[in-house]
Structure 1
Amino acid sequence: MSKLISADEAAALIPDHAVVTVSSSSGLGCPDAVLAAIGRRFEAEAHPRGLTTLHPIAAGDMWGIKGIDHIARPGLLARVLAGSYPSGPSSAEPPAIWRMIGADQVEAYNIPSGILFDMHREAAAKRPGVLTKVGLDTFVDPRRHGCAMNATAAAKPVVKVKDFEGEEWLYFPAITPQVAIIRATTADERGNLTYEHEGAFLGPLDQALAAHNNGGIVIAQVKRLAKAGTLKPQQVYVPGILVDHIVVAPEQMQTTQTVYEPAISGEIFRPLDSFETPAFDIGKVIARRVALELTAGSAVNIGFGISANVPRILIEEGRHGDVTWVIEQGAVGGVPLTDFQFGCASNAEAIVPSPYQFTYFQAGGFDASLLSFLEIDRFGSVNVSRLTARPHVTAGAGGFVDITARAKKIVFSGYFNAGAKLAIENGAVRIDKEGKVRKLVPEVEHVSFSGARGVAQGQDITYVTERCVMKLTPAGVMVTELAPGIDLERDVLAQAGFPLLVADDLKRTPDRLYCDTPIGLALDGRGA
C-alpha cells in the first residue's frame, strides 16, 4: 500500500485534541506545506480542534515560512510548548501566535529546547518524564514562571520541583504525541528518509519514535520521492518502519529565504573569501573584544546577535579553524551563518542530531559560549527571552538555558543602553546621544541565566559592551575594563540601574580594536 498522500489528505488525518509534534527551527526544516494544509482544513471544516503542539526549537518565521502561524487560530490551537517562537522587528505586525499568546487565547509555554527533546525521548521509551537541573532559578523554575508565557498557561503548570536522592531537580512529565510531522529531503516508497539537502537533523527520529511507539502516526514532508531500495542505508536517518505517510512538497525551502545552498548541507565547501566580513563600526569592535576571550583549540558555542559575527572576525584575522564552532541545531565546525540563515553553518565538519548536541551542551562538554543579552541585573542574571513591551521581538529562550546551565565560560555581549547613538572617532568611542532604555537594571524581567547559580557553580562570566567589560564576581558585577573615550562615572556608573563594582586594576580596552585594520588576534584567552 502506498504511503504517498497529499498535504490536504495528511491534514485530514489529524484528530481533534491531538498532541502534534513538529520538527523545525524557524525556517530550517519546517514542514510548511503540511502545516498550511491543517490551517486550510480548519478554515473549511472547523477541524481539527483543540490541538496541543510541541516545537522543540521553533516552527516558522516572519520572512516567508509561516510555520506555526498557519495553525495559530482560536479553536484550532489550544496549547503550545515551544523552545522558541517566530520573532521579528518591533515595527512589524506581531505574528498570529504572539497575538494569541497576548490575548490568552492559547496556553503557551517556553520550554528549553534540550528539555523538549528529552521529553520526546522519555515518551518514546514510555518513561515518566525528565529530571534535570537545567533551568533551576530561571524562568523555567516553577518558583519563578514555570515556563508559562501567559496567565492561561500559568494556571496549568508543566514543571515541578522534586527532591531526588537529597538533591533538588526540576521534573517535566513526558508528553506523548499522537502525530509527528517531520521533514526530510528524500523518501523512498517505503518511507525511508534521507537528508541530503537539509542543514540539520532537528529531532525527527526522536519525534517519530515518540509518536510511533505510542500508537500514533508519523507524517513526513519531503522534497522528492525515490524508488524503494535505492537509498543507501547509512544515509537513512529515519527508517520507513516509523513513517506512515509521505507528502511530497517540491517547493520546500532549505531555510529562511534560502531555496537551496549546498554548502549548508555539507555538499560543497565555500571559499573562505566568499564570507562577508563585518563593516567597521561599534558592533564590530564589540565582536573583536569578544574574540579576545577565545583560546585556540576550544569548542565554542555561538548565539544570535553581535556574537554571531565573531567567526567572521576570525576569518578576517586569518584564524579560522583555531576554534571549533558548535551551534544548537547541530553543526560542528565550519562557519556559522548570520541573519536569515542563522542556525545553519557552511563548511561544517559534522552535523550532529540536535537532541545530542543539547546533551553535549547540558553537561557543559564544550569550552565556552558567546551569547547576547537584553538585560543584566545586580545579581549578574541575564534576560534574553522576554520583554513585555515588545514580546514578538524576542523569540524566547530556545537552547539558551540548556547551553548556559553548566557552561564553563560565557561571554555575553550587547550595547550598554538601548537606542544610544554611537560612533568611533580617532580611535575612541563617541556617544552622540544617550540611549533612553537602560539594559543594566535592578532586576531582569525574565531570568534566562541565573547569576546566583553562575557564582555558585564557579562559572566564568564576562559581559562585553561598547563602553566597558564587566565580570561577575561573588560580590556583584564588576567593571574590569573601560573603552577609550568613555568616562567611567558619566557613561557607565551613572547609566547603570544598580551600583557597579570597579576593579582596582581597571584596564583600558586595547586601542587596536578601534582601527579599520586587522588587530593581530592571538586567541590566547587573556582578554585585554
Structure 2
Amino acid sequence: MNKVIGSAAEAVADIGDGASLAVGGFGLCGIPETLIRAVHAAGTGRLRLVSNNCGVDGRGLGILLAAGRVTRVTASYVGENKEFARQYLAGELEVELIPQGTLAERLRAGGAGIPAFFTPAGVGTQIAEGGLPWRYAPDGTVAVSSPARETRVIEGREYVLENAITCDFALVRAARGDAHGNLVFDKSARNFNPLAATAGRITVAEVEELVEPGALDPDEVHLPGVFVQRVVPLTPAQAADKPIERRTVAAPAARGTVASV
C-alpha cells in the first residue's frame, strides 16, 4: 500500500478543531516541524496536545500555542517556553503534568491496546492523591484540579493506576521511511516519536529520506508501517531544518593557555 502524501497540507487537512494530537520529539530534537506548521497554516484550533513538552517560543508546538490554537496539553516538561507558562498561570490553558516515564508508558500502553497499568511513580504525591492544578482561574485560584487515582498494594509495594493515552492523530518525524510507512529514526531523535506514533488512530510521518519498499533492512526498522497511515517526504531544505534548543559550548581557550577539564 502506497501511503505517500504529496504535501504536509494535504496530510493534515482532516485534522479538525478539537482534535487530540500525540506529537513526537524532545525539546526541538526530532519534532515534526513541517507537519506542525501545516496544522498552523490550516487554522485548526482547540487542539489537545500530548507531547513531552510544547516546543519553544516560535518553534515546534510553540507556534500553535502562541496562536491560541491549544486548549489542553499533557506533558512532562514546560521550562523552555515562556508563553506556555504564561497561558497556564493565566488560566488560558489546561495542563496535565506527569512524570516523563509515566508519559512514555501511557503512550506505549495506548498503542499496545492496554487500557491502564500500575506504576510506583507518583505514589505519596499529588499524582496519586489528586489536587494538582490543571487549570487556573483568572484570579489565580485553581479552577480544575487532578482527581485522586486508584492505588493498590502489590507484593508489599504501593502502586498508582495510570490510564493509557490514545489520540485522534499522531505527528512524528523520521530520518528514513518507505512508502509502506516503515520508519527509521536517527539516534536521539528517536525519543518520543515511536511511542507517539503508536498512540495515534491516524499517524502522519514526515521523513527526511524516502526510500523504495524493500530498501530498509527489517532489522533496522524502529516502527513498522502498520502504525503509520500517511508518509510525507520532506524537501532537502525541510530535512536540514534542525534548530538547536540551547547551545552550551565553551569559549575557546586563549592561545598559550590550557583549557580546564
TM category, shorter: 0.7 to 0.9
Alignment of 1:435-474 (within 5 A): none
Counterpart in 1 of 2:208?
223
Match of 2:95 among 108, 112, 130: 108
- The 2-side partners of 1:204 and 1:52 are apart by 17
Q: In structure 2, the residue corresponding to 1:3 is in which secondary structure? A: coil
Identity among equivalent pairs (%) = 26
Counterpart in 1 of 2:183?
193
Q: What is the alpha-carbon root mean square deviation over aligned residues?
A: 3.0
- 1:255 deviates by 4.7
- 1:235 deviates by 1.6
**Larger deviation, residues 119-128 vs 18-27:** 119-128
- The 2-side partners of 1:183 and 1:126 are apart by 23
Residues 159 and 173, structure 1, Cα contact 8 Å, conserved in 2? no
Counterpart in 1 of 2:107?
120
Alignment of 1:224-373 (within 5 A): 224-249=209-234, 250=236, 251-253=238-240, 255-257=242-244
Q: In structure 2, the residue corresponding to 1:21 is in which secondary structure? A: strand
Q: Which amino acid in 2 is paired with 1:224?
A: E
- 1:136 deviates by 2.8
**Alignment gaps of 5+ in structure 1:** 89-93, 259-274, 280-315, 317-515, 519-528
Tell me whether 1:130 sits opposite 2:125 in the alignment.
no
Q: Deviations over 1:239-297 (max 9, x none)?
A: 22221111223324575338xxxxxxxxxxxxxxxx95998xxxxxxxxxxxxxxxxxx
Alignment of 1:483-494 (within 5 A): none
Alignment CA distance shift 1:26-1:75 (3 Å):
closer
Residues 89 and 136, structure 2, Cα contact 8 Å, conserved in 1? no
- The 1-side partners of 2:243 and 2:126 are apart by 29
Residues 27 and 59, structure 1, Cα contact 8 Å, conserved in 2? no
Match of 1:54 among 41, 50, 53: 50
Alignment CA distance shift 1:177-1:155 (3 Å):
same
Count of residue correspondences: 246
Residues 119 and 173, structure 1, Cα contact 8 Å, conserved in 2? yes
Q: Which amino acid in 2 is paired with 1:52?
A: R
Q: Which amino acid in 2 is paired with 1:183?
A: R
Counterpart in 2 of 1:68?
61
Alignment of 1:368-387 (within 5 A): none
Alignment of 1:494-509 (within 5 A): none
Tell me whether 1:82 sits opposite 2:75 in the alignment.
yes
- The 2-side partners of 1:184 and 1:115 are apart by 23
Q: In structure 2, the residue corresponding to 1:155 is in which secondary structure? A: strand
- The 1-side partners of 2:80 and 2:124 are apart by 25
- The 2-side partners of 1:117 and 1:141 are apart by 18
- 1:159 deviates by 5.5
TM-score by length of 2: 0.80
Q: In structure 1, the residue corresponding to 2:39 is in which secondary structure? A: helix
- 1:83 deviates by 1.2
Counterpart in 2 of 1:266?
none
- The 1-side partners of 2:7 and 2:260 are apart by 56
Alignment of 1:89-104 (within 5 A): 94-95=82-83, 97-104=84-91
Q: Which amino acid in 2 is paired with 1:135?
A: G
Counterpart in 1 of 2:146?
157
Residues 24 and 194, structure 2, Cα contact 8 Å, conserved in 1? no
Q: In structure 2, the residue corresponding to 1:78 is in which secondary structure? A: strand
Counterpart in 2 of 1:142?
129
